[in-house]
Structure 1
Amino acid sequence: MRINTFFYTIGEGFRNLTRNKWYTLASIATITACLFLLGMFYSIVANFQNMVRTAEQGVSVTVFFNKGIGEEQILAIQSNIEKRTEVSKVVYISAEDAWNGFKDQYLGEYADGFTENPLADSSNLQIYMKDVSMQTQLVTYLNSIDGVRRVRSSEITALTLSGMNKLIAYVSVGIIVVLLFVSVFLISNTVTIGISVRKSEIEIAKYIGATDFFVRAPFVIEGILIGIIGSIIPLAIIYELYIRVVSYISEHYSILNNLLVFLSVKRIFENLMPLSLAIGVGIGFFGSAFTVKKHLKV
């Protein structure tokens, strides 16, 4: 494609935006609204998933051993457990550590009356997982190890957290699909109206030898521009709104700061920005390209 044709195509794409102002504004407003809802939903879901992951990191499986088992054997078992893909960290707690923690928390000065460690056989391994949904297979493996007396785990907690993750994923996909269809429909209508308004002009251009690409390209550029504009506006709004909301909650509800650990705006936008721009440009491109191919029969 020649340079002058390229710039002509770009210019026509920009001019198309002003030829159908109200429909263009309607499409931009619809994409803005859709991506705003998507961005807000993503911000909430990302923070919620972060809180769930934080909760998962605190869920552990505890392994207790048979009486008389040596520390070397326990450490060897720990080494094998750490090699498993579902395990993120294994903490060894000796009988002495267990007793010291117990007496500091519950006995205080009354612990001086004990001359021997009453928890002499309480050495254990606390195992933290990368994904709590893998807890069942991990527990099965742990119960098969020689020397293991008991494995303590919370199946209800694992199922709850795993179910929440799946629910979030399904809802996210459903909402995104609906928003995409609505946006594509609006851009498709805008391009269709633009073609109808300029049908005589397009016919003349075709008669004097204009190629299909030359005629179609401005409409595709128009759709892409609508998608870009409709992406930038909600990103700017969400950026400012997110900072204000997080700041407000942190200042006025400080008691929840340990429970509600929000992601930074940078963490949110390093995924949200490319996602929104990609969706906006993609909707604009495919929505206009398919519409032009369907309706531009001149």
Structure 2
Amino acid sequence: MRINSFFYTIGQGFKNLGRNKWYTLASIATIGACLFLFGLFFSIINNIQHFVHTAEEGVSVTVFFDEGTSEDQMLAVKSEIEKRPEVKEIHYESADAAWEGYKEEYLGGYTDGFTENPLADSANLQIYLKDVSMQAALVTYIESIDTVRDVKRSEVTADTLSGLNKLMAYVSMGIIIILLCVSIFLISNTVTMGIAVRKDEINIMKYIGATDFFVRAPFVVEGILIGIIGSAIPLVIIYYIYKNAISYVNTKFAMLSTILPFLPVEQIYNDLVPISMAIGIGIGFLGSFTTVRKHLHV
């Protein structure tokens, strides 16, 4: 494309926005409404996944050793388990540390009558995973170690959290697909309306020898511009809604925000902005390109 044709196409794309204001507003409203819903669902689902991930961080596998196992042997086992890809971190608790913790929590520091450590064989490893769905494989491996006496884990909690993660992934994918299909359908209809309005103009361009690309390009540019505007508006609205909602919850329900920490708006928008812009521009491009190609027979 020659440079003057390029700037002409871009200019026509901008002019087309003003030539058919109702068509432009309808297209922007269509994309904006769909991306507004997408942004809301995105924020909610990301926070739910964050809550689940926070809960996962508190789920651990506790490993107890055979009587007579030395601390060096336990630490050697710890080093081997740390090499596993599913392991996030491991804490070693000696028998003495276990007894001290028990005294403080259950006996109020009272130790009269105890001449020896009653938890002499309670040294353990507390293992935290990157993903609780990997718990079964890790437990199978640990149980195969000779010096291991018992492995404590919560299968119900792990299965529940793993199931929630999968459910959120399916829900996210379903919502995205539905919104994309609805957006492309609606933008195609609005582009068709725009083409009908300018049918005579397009026929004249064809009669005087305009190429297929020359006729089609301004519509594609127009679709992309509509996609950008239609993405930006809901992003601004959702930003203030989310920020104010989180501020209100943290102020009025401080206890809830401690139990269920919400993601900061900046972290949400690190992903939401590029995704929303890509979807908006993609919808504008695909909707205009395919519709123009279908109805103009160029």
> What TM-score results when the alignment is normalised by the length of structure 1?
0.97
Cα deviation digits, residues 25-64 of structure 1 (max 9, x gap): 1221121111111111111111111111111111000011
Instruction: Count residues with an aligned counterpart.
Output: 298
Q: Which amino acid aligns with 1:86?
A: E
Q: CA deviation at 1:157?
A: 0.3
Once the two structures are superposed, the pairs formed by residues 202-281 of structure 1 within 5 Å of their partners are 202-281=202-281
Q: Does the residue aligned with 2:149 lie in a helix, a strand or coil?
A: strand
Matched, 1:150 2:150: yes
Corresponding residue for 1:76?
76
Corresponding residue for 1:105?
105
Q: Does the residue aligned with 2:90 lie in a helix, a strand or coil?
A: strand
Once the two structures are superposed, the pairs formed by residues 189-208 of structure 1 within 5 Å of their partners are 189-208=189-208
Corresponding residue for 1:127?
127
Q: Which amino acid aligns with 1:220?
A: V
CA distance in structure 2 between the aligned counterparts of 1:271 and 1:74, rounded to whole angstroms: 42
CA distance in structure 1 between the aligned counterparts of 2:109 and 2:262, rounded to whole angstroms: 41
Preserved contact between residue 27 and residue 183 of structure 1 (Cα < 8 Å) = no
| RMSD over aligned Cα atoms | 1.1
CA distance in structure 2 between the aligned counterparts of 1:297 and 1:174, rounded to whole angstroms: 34
Cα deviation digits, residues 10-33 of structure 1 (max 9, x gap): 122122223332232122112111
When structure 1 is superposed on structure 2, of 13-22 and 267-276 the one drifting more is 13-22
Residue ranges of structure 1 left out of the alignment (5+ in a row): none
Corresponding residue for 2:51?
51
Q: Does the residue aligned with 2:258 lie in a helix, a strand or coil?
A: coil
- Segments of 4+ in structure 1 off by > 3 A? none
Residue ranges of structure 2 left out of the alignment (5+ in a row): none
When structure 1 is superposed on structure 2, of 105-114 and 151-160 the one drifting more is 105-114
Q: CA deviation at 1:273?
A: 0.4
Corresponding residue for 1:15?
15
Q: Does the residue aligned with 2:84 lie in a helix, a strand or coil?
A: coil
Q: Which amino acid aligns with 2:15?
A: R
Cα deviation digits, residues 124-150 of structure 1 (max 9, x gap): 111100000000111111110001111
Corresponding residue for 2:92?
92
Q: CA deviation at 1:199?
A: 2.0
Q: Which amino acid aligns with 2:81?
A: I
Identity of aligned residues (%): 67
Preserved contact between residue 227 and residue 282 of structure 1 (Cα < 8 Å) = yes
CA distance in structure 1 between the aligned counterparts of 2:5 and 2:156, rounded to whole angstroms: 65
Cα deviation digits, residues 252-283 of structure 1 (max 9, x gap): 00111221211111111110000100000000
Q: CA deviation at 1:109?
A: 4.2
CA distance in structure 1 between the aligned counterparts of 2:188 and 2:139, rounded to whole angstroms: 54
Q: Which amino acid aligns with 2:214?
A: F
Q: Does the residue aligned with 2:112 lie in a helix, a strand or coil?
A: helix
Q: Does the residue aligned with 2:297 lie in a helix, a strand or coil?
A: coil
Q: Which amino acid aligns with 2:168?
A: I
> What TM-score results when the alignment is normalised by the length of structure 2?
0.97
Q: Which amino acid aligns with 1:291?
A: T
